[in-house]
Amino acid sequence: MSKPFPARYRTTNWSSYNASLRKRGSLLIWVDKDMTWRAPRDGRPGRPPVFSDAAIQFCLSIKVLFKLPLRQTAGMVASLLKLAGLDWPVPDFSTLCRRQKTLAVQVPYRRAAEPAGG
């Protein structure tokens, strides 16, 4: 018994095909300029945190999404904030390391649609 020949697909609309390949490499990250980046004073004794939980959550989400070490995460967040035109300080890797112990990072995702019949 011989194997069937594999299906052969031909691209007929090259402009659409090229556009879809370009779009596949596109990256869009929304940074809310009204987000509380600095931690508010809570009045407790001791040194207050510099960065809010939202700032740490943002950095750790970037870390999880791109599978980066903490030092590279700080660099990527700095470049993202610069691209967004924001002059916000970036937590260093030791701050991220210490604060990730108390924050649970959950990245929501959509499961890809299952193919028909399977």
pLDDT recorded at residue 79:
94
- At residue 23 the predicted structure's pLDDT band, cuts being 50, 70 and 90, is confident
Distance CA 53, CA 72 (A): 20
Residue with tokens 């700095």: 78
Backbone angles phi, psi at 66, to 5 degrees: -105, 5
Q: CA angle 32-80-27, nearest 5°? A: 90
Tell me the average pLDDT across 8-13. Answer: 83
Tell me the average pLDDT across 108-114. Answer: 63
Distance CA 95, CA 77 (A): 14
pLDDT by residue (tens digit) across 36-65? 999 988 888 888 889 999 999 999 999 988
pLDDT recorded at residue 109:
65
Distance CA 87, CA 81 (A): 7
pLDDT recorded at residue 52:
92
**Which of 4-8, 15-19, 27-31, 59-63 has the highest mean predicted lDDT (pLDDT)?**
59-63
- Burial (0-12, 13-18, 19+ Cβ within 10 Å), 84: middle
pLDDT recorded at residue 43:
85
Q: Is the pTM of this model over 0.85?
A: no
Tell me the average pLDDT across 7-17. Answer: 85
